[in-house]
Amino acid sequence: MKMPHRFVLIAAAAALTGTVALAQSELIDGQVTKIDESAGKITIKHGPLKKFDMDEGMTMVFRAADPAMLKAVKAGDKVKFVPERVNGQFTVTRIEKAK
């Protein structure tokens, strides 16, 4: 009887962890100003990034988690993106054109 209860607790903990991760990965509005495919970097003008304690908008250079994502956008595109800190570097982990 104890084994099924443990499974339920583990599944519940995993579900809650996923929910927290989704909440922290909210999409940020921005505009692409430059793409450097050879360096795997993208420059984005964006609003505040509260999760990094940045209360004002600015223009920043980000690494692309997947260089292929740089082909989906171009300079001037309005985008929604997810910035993360990966190995100490600001990195775009997801990007899509804004609708």
- CATH code at position 87: 2.40.50.320
Query: Each residue of 22-38: pLDDT tens digit?
Result: 444 689 999 999 999 99
Please check whether residue 32 lies inside any domain of the structure: yes
Give the angle 56-62-65 at the CA atoms, nearest 5°.
Answer: 130
Please check whether residue 9 lies inside any domain of the structure: no
Please check whether residue 6 lies inside any domain of the structure: no
Q: Do 73 and 97 contact (CB within 8 A), yes or no?
A: yes
Please check whether residue 17 lies inside any domain of the structure: no
Please check whether residue 5 lies inside any domain of the structure: no
Predicted model pTM: 0.74
Amino acid residing at 82: V
Please check whether residue 10 lies inside any domain of the structure: no
Please check whether residue 14 lies inside any domain of the structure: no
Q: Stretch 82-96: mean pLDDT, rounded?
A: 96
Q: Stretch 17-25: mean pLDDT, rounded?
A: 48
Give the HSE-up count for residue 44: Cα atoms under 13 Å, Cβ half-sphere.
29
Please check whether residue 40 lies inside any domain of the structure: yes
Domain that holds residue 34: 27-97
Number of domains making up the chain: 1
> Could you give the CA distance from residue 52 to residue 34 in angstroms, rounded to a whole number?
22
